[in-house]
Amino acid sequence: MRISHCLPKTSFSSPIMSSGSASLMWFRKGLRIHDNPALEYASKGAKFVYPVFVVDPHYMEPDPTAFSPGSSRAGLNRIRFLLESLVDLDLSLKKLGSRLLVFKGEPSEILIRCLQEWDVNKLCFEYDTDPYYQALDMKVKDYASTAGIEVFSPVSHTLFNPADIIQKNGGKPPLTYQSFLKLAGQPSWASSPLPVSLSSLPPVGDVGNFEISEVPTVEELGYKGYGQEELSPFRGGESEALKKLRESINDKEWVANFEKPKGDPSAYLTPATTVLSPYLKFGCLSSRYFYQCLTDVYNNVKKHTAPPVSLVGQLLWRDFFYTVAFGTPNFDRMKGNRICKQIPWSNDDELLAAWREARTGYPWIDAIMVQLRKWGWMHHLARHCVACFLTRGDMFVHWEKGRDVFDRLLIDSDWAINNGNWLWLSCSSFFYQYNRIYSPVSFGKKYDPNGNYIRHFLPVLKGMLKLHPLYVFFFGLV
């Protein structure tokens, strides 16, 4: 297998002519077949569809200087999760008579070259509110419109279009969940079933001189010599997402009674929540389809919980943060962010490293940080505990530094949600009860009285438990 660096062997001046219309479907997030309006539109009436994914060095280039295996922006677990999702997508496309065309390089350059080389008259991709994609998409859209190519970029990553909510609110994002709910109402698409399957897709057209490769492995991307020790138990891909979704919604009682923040953050054999966040992050699972499945369950039970604590309520939190993030300049930093309290945080890198490397001396905090490094996922309340500890709870380190660590290591790392929750936990925005902190000892003890979670993620303490019961006593394991 080879990753193409995507330099076609001939000049781009003479496009390959195909008879009939052709579309380019650009996958970025939205790595799924079900409820994918961009893919549906791309295939409508088209003789050929080119499904393209670009391996972007901005996110994927190995960084040997980073504090853990991975690139400067993404830990290896998330990179692996993405590659698994691409393999799954490619398999699904092949079943429908198509395949994924994988390139490597700066996405806008590659997309423009593809548009120049292939005789494409429609460019389709899911709308993305992240600042990185906003800038990237502008370049590609500009080229497409000057070349007379139709661009279709629907909002399908979230339940609502953040721009609509902001417009309804007079141009500003709502800053409370309740006001968001009032403005949002019911999603417009919710009254009819979403399309969840396709019977076939138009074939891929002539790719000309492009070298097309299969989905690369982590080794082919330049990541070598990393053992299974760091391997997250969660596998990427739409198939896995739909399987996990079915497992969750089949338990109607569990769905109907779901109530967050109740739930055990130390439950690691069977997590207390759905663990669908990494699939939502990459769009292996449509949040709209998830929402529709949940409302189906609600319609078939006598009573169920409601937002903000219900499962639908969790999806609405996701949309809430997307909306505020989209409508707030400098949402990801303290300076220049009008909704963020200006707090003289410390930039103590030694404290930050102790937190990041699970060396705080508090087993509950350290175990959560190990789970983050190894699994790339932790329960919501566990995230609360370590984010509070790093910032207002104990270390007084800047929330942006903790945000960066989460951003790199989480497999569900999501620009809007991660920044939104760090603003929340550091009492910089949304939530201001600065003195309501999580004890790094008694909070963990409440859920993990026998230290099972701590022993699992900090096996070094297993031996210490036997040898030094006093250590155990002082550090709150018994």
| Residues at the site binding ligand FAD, with contacts judged by CB under 6 A | 260, 273-277, 280-281, 314-315, 317-318, 321, 379-380, 383-384, 387, 406, 410, 412-414, 417-418, 421-422, 425
Q: Which is nearer to ligand FAD, 258 or 362 (CB)?
A: 258
Pairing assessment for the beta strands 150-152 and 22-27 based on DSSP bridges: unpaired
Phi-psi region of 17 (alpha: psi -120 to 50; beta: other; left: phi over 0): beta
Radius of gyration of the chain (CA): 23
Tokens read off for 31: 């790595």
Q: How far is the CB of 274 from ligand FAD (least distance, A)?
A: 3
Which residues are within 8 A (CB) of 310 and not within 5 positions of it... i.e. 6 or more apart?
Answer: 258, 259, 304
Q: Which is nearer to ligand FAD, 136 or 284 (CB)?
A: 284
Q: How far is the CB of 164 from ligand FAD (least distance, A)?
A: 19
CA–CA dist 188, 183 (Å, integer)? 13
Q: Which is nearer to ligand FAD, 43 or 418 (CB)?
A: 418
Sign of torsion over alpha carbons 399, 155, 284, 192:
positive
Per-residue exposure over 435-465, b if at least 16 CB sit within 10 Å of its own CB, e if not = eebbbbeebbbebbeebebbbbbbeebeeee
Q: How far is the CB of 421 from ligand FAD (least distance, A)?
A: 3
Q: How far is the CB of 422 from ligand FAD (least distance, A)?
A: 5
CA–CA dist 202, 413 (Å, integer)? 33
- Are residues 8 and 262 in contact, defined by beta-carbon separation less than 8 angstroms? no
Q: Which is nearer to ligand FAD, 43 or 310 (CB)?
A: 310
CA–CA dist 123, 93 (Å, integer)? 18
Q: Which is nearer to ligand FAD, 247 or 350 (CB)?
A: 247
CA–CA dist 113, 103 (Å, integer)? 11
Q: How far is the CB of 407 from ligand FAD (least distance, A)?
A: 7
Q: How far is the CB of 172 from ligand FAD (least distance, A)?
A: 20
Q: How far is the CB of 377 from ligand FAD (least distance, A)?
A: 7
Q: Which is nearer to ligand FAD, 117 or 407 (CB)?
A: 407
Q: Which is nearer to ligand FAD, 204 or 311 (CB)?
A: 311
